[in-house]
Amino acid sequence: MHHNSHAELIMYMDLARIPEEGEPSVVEFTVELFKTLRYAHRERVVRTRVDIPLLICGESTHVQTDVCIVDRSHNDILLLVQTVAAFNENNAQRDAPGLQPMEDRAIPGIVMVGTSPVFLQIPVTQSLSTHIRHGTYPAQETCVIYCHPPAPRPHRRCSEGVKPLDNRRAILGCCEAFKTIVDI
């Protein structure tokens, strides 16, 4: 079984590297990568296309994740790219009796460029959420911290992704280390 999951991951990796396969193949690869690296276990599941309500400039809208990790015990979104929406949705889920709204926090995210990840920590504050809701500019700048895995050939990081073994070691090592940031 272990060998089958690795073979599937490699198949998805190969598909994600074909530009004509488009974004769905990158999403499928990311889901398999998270499963293989055990980002999902027990109460944590890998979800795709999760619909999240978001109030922007006074208008109610929705955003949709490509891939996210959800902690089912709290209905919290732990990892994704649409961070302000996740912050607001996590707070909405906490309106239940006994749960406190989330404090300002850095939400981890991963942007996949083909099979090459960029790791992010996005500080989301109640103030930022309020400014987005009302379509105003916050007084304080939002600084996103990002990290590219150290690739032996940085100028080819995006085109090679995890295909070469030396890149694979660096990228998978960073994925494992990022689990501590996501608290997995």
Q: Are 93 and 102 in contact (CB under 8 A)?
A: no
Compute φ and ψ for 15, nearest 5 degrees.
-65, -40
pLDDT of residue 84: 47
pLDDT tens across 159-176, in order? 898 889 999 999 999 999
* Torsional sign, CA 48, 38, 108, 69: positive
Q: Token pair of 75, please? A: 């209905």
Residues 6 or more apart whose CB falls under 8 angstroms from that of 165 comprise none
Out of 40-44, 126-130, 139-143, 174-178, the most confident range is 174-178
pLDDT over 90 for what percent of the chain? 15
The overall pTM is greater than 0.85: no
With a cut of 50, say whether residue 119 has pLDDT above it.
Answer: yes
